[in-house]
């Protein structure tokens, strides 16, 4: 019986690029051992051979964003096979840089954390979808820094607030009035 591909699943394992994409294929027919070749559409080829199961997964790391047409060929011991094709669409990670300058005259000990969070200011709190933090031990002086925050690819388009917080907690989820040293909201700070 000739090989007939019955299922193909293409899974993007992450957000933005570089990213790994998993190509999983099932088929019927053919005589082992089998070989699987994936032309990834970005000029590379992934290959495996010598297996007897009628399913196989291969992964490929895409280094750039773009629309890539892939082709998968399954062949058997006699060189007969089946081919299928499709597309994978990869986007760049959205990254926003928050530039922060401040002066501190505090001599209080302990570590402070500078957080930038993106989301929506709501009654009683802040619903955020992306954040990044920097730790500071020396609290007195002039500061001039950047915090890069990567926005998840699944984030809906729109305008979002930026909340800049200096806090004694290292976990943005635990920020509350008891551990905030200073804060600033930038309404409609980013839009995409």
The whole-angstrom separation of Cα 20 and Cα 5 is 23
The whole-angstrom separation of Cα 48 and Cα 114 is 47
The whole-angstrom separation of Cα 119 and Cα 161 is 5
pLDDT 10s per residue in the chain (192 long)? 799 999 998 988 766 678 889 999 999 999 999 999 999 999 999 999 999 999 999 999 999 888 899 999 999 999 899 999 999 888 777 777 777 777 777 666 678 888 888 888 887 778 888 888 888 766 677 777 778 787 776 677 778 888 888 888 889 889 888 888 888 887 667 776
In words, the CATH class of domain 94-191 is mainly beta
- CATH number, domain 4-90, options 3.40.50.620, 3.30.750.210, 3.40.50.720, 2.60.40.10: 2.60.40.10
**In the chain, where does DSSP find H-type helix?**
none
Give the pTM: 0.56
Q: Do domains 4-90 and 94-191 have the same CATH topology?
A: yes
């Amino acid at each position: 019986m000739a090989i007939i591909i019955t299922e193909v699943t293409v899974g993007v394992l992450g957000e933005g690029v570089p990213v790994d994409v998993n190509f999983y294929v099932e088929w019927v027919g053919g005589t082992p051992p089998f070989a699987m070749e994936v032309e990834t559409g970005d000029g590379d080829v992934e290959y495996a051979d010598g297996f007897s199961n009628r399913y196989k997964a291969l992964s490929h790391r895409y280094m750039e964003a773009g629309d890539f047409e892939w082709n998968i060929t399954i062949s058997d011991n006699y060189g007969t096979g089946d081919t299928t094709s499709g597309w994978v669409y990869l986007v760049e990670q959205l990254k926003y840089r928050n530039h922060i300058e401040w002066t501190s005259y505090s001599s209080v000990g302990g570590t402070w954390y500078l957080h930038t969070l993106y989301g929506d200011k709501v009654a009683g709190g802040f619903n955020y979808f992306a954040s990044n933090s920097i730790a500071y031990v020396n609290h007195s002086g002039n500061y001039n820094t950047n915090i890069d925050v990567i926005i998840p690819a699944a984030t809906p388009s729109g305008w979002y607030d930026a909340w800049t917080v200096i806090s004694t907690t290292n976990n943005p989820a635990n920020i509350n009035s008891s551990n905030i040293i200073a804060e600033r909201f930038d309404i409609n700070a980013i839009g995409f």
